[in-house]
Amino acid sequence: MRKYIFIVTSLLFLSSYSQSRKNIYFLIDRNDTLIKKQIATQTNEYEGYRIIDETRIVKTSRRSFREKPKDKVLKKGEIWISEGDDVEYETFASYSFSFNRKVDTIISKTYFDSLSIIKDRRKFLDTIKIENIFNLNYIFIEPKNCTEFIMRQAEILTFE
């Protein structure tokens, strides 16, 4: 009975997201150091994954630091601008995904076994690269214990 509830719940979960987009299931390998997981803290509620593509180098930038000269006297109501020119640097390409654990679902091992799940990060990246990454429903799965798994909807992010 319990397994049945898991499956029904899972199907409802998936049907609400499937719509016209194709589902892609990805098992998070906790031992893969190129999958970065960010967990909510007391000061930052964001949660998500960053999956790194080590086969591509991209450029990103960060703001440099300008130190205030010792002899610079600031007037009242004036702030020293500590950011300077942006500095570009090379890094591995990556894809970011956010999730909301409030809508996580628990699935059984049986149901897990019935899904077509990508278990390798490289295979996952190669798969999404040949699709339109915005036309996919990303469903990430993490082991909870020996018989249960956490299934969560992840949303691919873009930055500007």
Partner 1 sequence: MKVKLHKQIRKFAMDRGYIYIETERWTDWYHNSGNGLSKTHSTFEGLTREVIFSNTSGYSSYQSYPTFEYGGGAYDSNIGANYDGKLSLEERTIEKITERTSVDKIYNNLEGKADCVYQKMVDNKNNINWILENFNDGDTPSQFNLKLVMSTTLGNETNASTIKSGNTFIIKINANTLSSRTTLGLARTVIHEGIHARLREFLFRKGGTVSKNDFPGVYEYYRIYQDNWDHQQMADFYMGTIAKGLKQFDNGQHTDQFYDDMAWEGLANIVDANNRPNEIYTEAWKKLTDTEQNRIKNTIANEKSNGNKTCVK
Chain residues in the site for partner 1 (CB under 8 A): 20-21, 36, 38, 44-46, 48, 50, 56, 58-63, 66, 68, 72, 74-75, 77-86, 88, 93-96, 98, 132-135, 155-160
Q: For residue 98, what are the β-bridge partners?
A: 48, 155
Q: How far is the CB of 69 from partner 1 (least distance, A)?
A: 9
Q: Which amino acid would we find at residue 2?
A: R
CA 101, chain centre distance (Å): 12
Structure tokens at 104: 């996580």
Residue whose CB is less far from partner 1, 74 or 146:
74
Of 9 and 100, CB closest to partner 1: 100
DSSP string, 93-105: EEEEEEE-GGG-E
| Smallest separation, CB 61 to partner 1 (Å) | 5
- The neighbouring-strand residues paired with 106 are 150
Coil/strand/helix, residue 86? strand
* Residue number with CB closer to partner 1 (70 or 75): 75
Smallest separation, CB 109 to partner 1 (Å): 30
| Cα separation values, 53 from 8, 23, 38, 117, Å | 35, 21, 17, 19
**104 or 148: whose CB is closer to partner 1?**
104
Radius of gyration over alpha carbons of the chain, in Å? 21
CB of 148 to partner 1, least distance (A): 25
CB 20 within 8 A of CB 31: no
Least distance to partner 1 from the beta carbon of 77, Å? 4
